[in-house]
Amino acid sequence: EPEVTQTPSHQVTQMGQEVILRCVPISNHLYFYWYRQILGQKVEFLVSFYNNEISEKSEIFDDQFSVERPDGSNFTLKIRSTKLEDSAMYFCASRVSGGNTGELFFGEGSRLTVL
């Protein structure tokens, strides 16, 4: 069964450092998402991406965050200057179409620890 894969599974970084989290969505999917979950809290939407541009973003997705689909297969989330409160599990997701016509497939997540 096709799946969304994410790397790294766990990254530890120092505050102020840049971090790039990588995702390989399912190959025929067109809509891509990043969510995060701080330990013990809700799964929070960050950003959605379609046709090589951001289609929707939340208040959390401020200027320190960016997304890119550099090569047609990878979908990356960059955090420019990490803060302690960025420590969370980051989930990538993809779906074949927008609206309500398809399920959202999630990866297993990348755990980010900022020291």
Binding site for other proteins (CB under 8 A): 4, 31, 33, 35, 37, 42-45, 48, 50, 55-56, 58, 89, 91, 93, 98-100, 103-109
Q: How far is the CB of 16 from other proteins (least distance, A)?
A: 26
Q: How far is the CB of 73 from other proteins (least distance, A)?
A: 19
Q: How far is the CB of 21 from other proteins (least distance, A)?
A: 13
Task: Name the one residue in this structure whose structure tokens are 């891509």.
Answer: 32
Choice between 35 and 75, CB closer to other proteins: 35
Choice between 14 and 62, CB closer to other proteins: 62
Choice between 93 and 114, CB closer to other proteins: 93
User: H/E/C letters for each residue in the chain?
Assistant: CCCCEEECCEEEECCCCCEEEEEECCCCCCEEEEEEECCCCCEEEEEEEECCEEEEECCCCCCCEEEECCCCCCEEEEECCCCHHHCEEEEEEEECCCCCCCCCEECCCEEEEEC
